[in-house]
Amino acid sequence: MIRAGAAIVDITPPPGLSMSGFAARTLPAKGAHDALTARAVVVGDTAVVVADVIGIDAAMSACIRERCVLPAENVVVAALHNHGGPVSMAGRLSIAADPTYLERLEDACVAAIDKAAAARRPATITVGQGSDPGIARNRRHPGGPVDASLPLLRIRAADGGMIALVIAYACHPVVLAADNLLWTADYPHFVRQALEEAHPGAVALFMTGCVGDANTGHSAHASISLAANPDRSFASAERIGRKVAEAALGAAEQPVSDTVHARNGTVSLAFERRETEAPNILEKRWREEALSAEPARKNLLGYWTDWARNIAPIKPGPLAARVTVLDWGGVPIVALPGEIFAETALTIRAALGPDKPAFVIGFADDNPGYIPPASEFQFGGYEVDEAHRYYGMAATFAPGSAEALAACAIELAKTTCAGSEAA
């Protein structure tokens, strides 16, 4: 039997801290709708921890992996990427992070891993594929591709009690919009709540898939607004979350083997500047536009002018991106950094075997922004042309970056899971 454990640590910030995720939002949080958490599942000597924040940068991820009781190369540190959480990355997403909260976040992730490791006991794991809940939509192209996979791992103790349920789905956690001022894990909160109601005592771990171009149907620019929208409410988040959970709980159960492996790779990602005008020209133009812009747009332009003055003049060097594949009993967990598009996830799934249950997640071990596939550059738009400014990056990732990550992930997965099958 595999030894497995799970743990939850509360990371809910106090009211008054800045919220991260929407350029239009300037007011701090006024309270909490649901508790934010760091959740860890440990299988053998490997682990995934997911924190309810918009991103964890590479430096903090490395610290968490080095500080926890498990081998650093065996640990994936991921963010849920909810937009109802605090500022969680120093120097990114345009708002200063609170150093005390960053320290608390790091400590909580380490504690969750260590508690889950201490709770390990003999366990069996089954895997199944839930039906398509029909929630995710391609927000860049009507009818465009989405990764509709809904894998579910059920981890049970020797006595049959459920230790953990591990799920992943590729839909941006942005049901709630910029008018929301309550801490929340968005619709994944309701997914986890429904799974834990079905199996009292279990820990539900939700991993966010490749959602760079997927949400419930609105464009990215639709979020540059402070207006309330009845479709972007807690009631909607609950309806969506429970629909995803219901589809997952219908998954059949296939036993997995008792082998556990982990492999890592590093991909060097280059940048390419999309702006054709000089930074000082852009700064001047955006400052002038801001004089008559409505409040949400004015706030966004403020971030852009800061970017043009302080970040755009920097020539960015390549970014070293970590790719990890965990193999839990023959089930691959492919962990990629940043905001990955559906096309990349589907490429990886096709290479692994389209009918094989697999987890392909983003926001793992870093969140440096959107990493579009080469096919998307011709269409431009927020994710390609603009988002790097808000992220505090000097330029967009160059065409070919997503393909390089996919190639690395496929190679790691084939090697790792081949070892599992041989065992």
- Predicted local distance difference test score (pLDDT) of residue 262: 98
For the record, the structure tokens of 303 come out as 């971030």
Bridge partners (DSSP) listed for residue 265: 323
Run of H or E residues at 47: strand 46-51
The DSSP secondary-structure symbol of 364 reads B
Model pLDDT for residues 53-68, shown as the tens digit of each residue: 999 999 999 999 999 9
- Confidence (pLDDT) at 419: 53
Per cent of the chain over pLDDT 90 is: 96
* pTM for this entry: 0.97
Note the pLDDT tens digit of each residue in 298-355.
Answer: 999 999 999 999 999 999 999 999 999 999 999 999 999 999 999 999 999 999 997 8
Instruction: Say if CB 87 and CB 28 are below 8 A apart.
Output: no
Strands 359-361, 331-335: parallel, antiparallel or unpaired by DSSP? parallel
What ranges do the domains of the chain cover?
2-265+319-422, 276-310
- Interstrand relation of 271-272 and 396-397 (parallel, antiparallel or unpaired): antiparallel
The tens digit of pLDDT for each residue in 146-182 reads 999 999 999 999 999 999 999 999 999 999 999 999 9
Res 355: pLDDT: 82
Which residues sit opposite 41 in a β-bridge? 6, 48
> Tell me, what's the pLDDT at 418?
59
On the question of pLDDT at 421 being above 60, the answer is no
Q: Is the model's pLDDT at 270 over the cut of 80?
A: yes
Q: What is the pLDDT of residue 276?
A: 96
Q: What confidence tier does 422 reach under pLDDT thresholds 50, 70, 90?
A: very low
pLDDT at 420: 55
pLDDT at residue 423, rounded to an integer: 44
The rounded distance, in Å, linking the Cα atoms of 421 and 330 is 7
pLDDT tens-digit map of 68-92: 999 999 999 999 999 999 999 999 9
Dist CA 83 CA 239 (whole Å)? 18
pLDDT, mean over the chain: 96
Q: Is 40 helix (H, G, I), strand (E, B) or coil?
A: strand
Strands of 336-418, DSSP E:
339-340, 359-361, 370-371, 396-397
Kindly give, in sequence order, each residue whose CB lies less than 8 Å from that of residue 131, ignoring residues fewer than 6 positions away. 150, 247, 250, 251
Look at residue 416 in the predicted model and tell me its pLDDT.
77
**Which stretch of 279-283, 335-339, 412-416 has the lowest confidence by average pLDDT?**
412-416
Beta-carbon contacts of 80 under 8 Å, excluding residues fewer than 6 positions away, are 50, 51, 52, 53, 173, 185, 188, 206, 208, 363
Q: 104 pLDDT band (50/70/90 cuts)? A: very high
